[in-house]
Copies of this chain bind each other. A is one copy, B any other.
């Protein structure tokens, strides 16, 4: 049993002990060291990952050969290459640990039968996707309406302790500008 996962689900739907058991039986616990690759382009994404402990990033390498970070996954976040899963195509992204991590994997093949057995989990995943969509739309809003510098200040004010856990070049990549520019912002602020 994975109480941490169950607690997260309880915020959306109420499961019976039997249903909780069905779910946890399907989850596979995996442990990774720092900087381990969990998924890479070309592979089919095995399923959806729930981060129990640690920190991962999802990114791809763009035309200019820069790493572009799509998402971070920290404790209690689901992460996956949904495009690969839904459209049955090879992944275009890497998923890699930043810190040593403990992660639960729900395999694609297990998901449909599980959701059929436990319809409340269908609701849970629907709501989770909806929240992810809202977050993604909000990120687009920030990209449109804030300068890079504003976005940096906003993000660090919002997640001060998270910013401590990642190297600056990853934050720059996630926010959509160069590490050099981030360095200049900080230099400016110190004055």
Contact = CB atoms under 8 A, between A and B. Distances in A.
Interface of A: 60, 62-64, 68, 70, 82-83, 86, 115, 119, 122-123, 125-127, 129-134, 136-141, 143-145, 176
Question: Chain A interface secondary structure, helix, strand, loop or mixed?
Answer: helix
Copies per complex of this chain: 2
A76 to B, nearest CB: 18
A130 B86 contact: yes
Contact of A132 (B127, B133, B144, B145): B133
Nearest to A119: B119
A103 to B, nearest CB: 20
Contacts of A131: 86
Of listed A83, A119, A132, A144, residue having the most chain B CB within 10 A: A144
Given A122-B123, A136-B136, 17 more contacts: A60-B141, A62-B145, A70-B137, A82-B134, A83-B138, A86-B134, A115-B123, A119-B119, A122-B122, A132-B133, A133-B133, A133-B136, A139-B140, A140-B140, A140-B143, A143-B143, A143-B176
Contacts of A63: 145
A117 to B, nearest CB: 12
Contact of A176 (B119, B134, B138, B144): B144
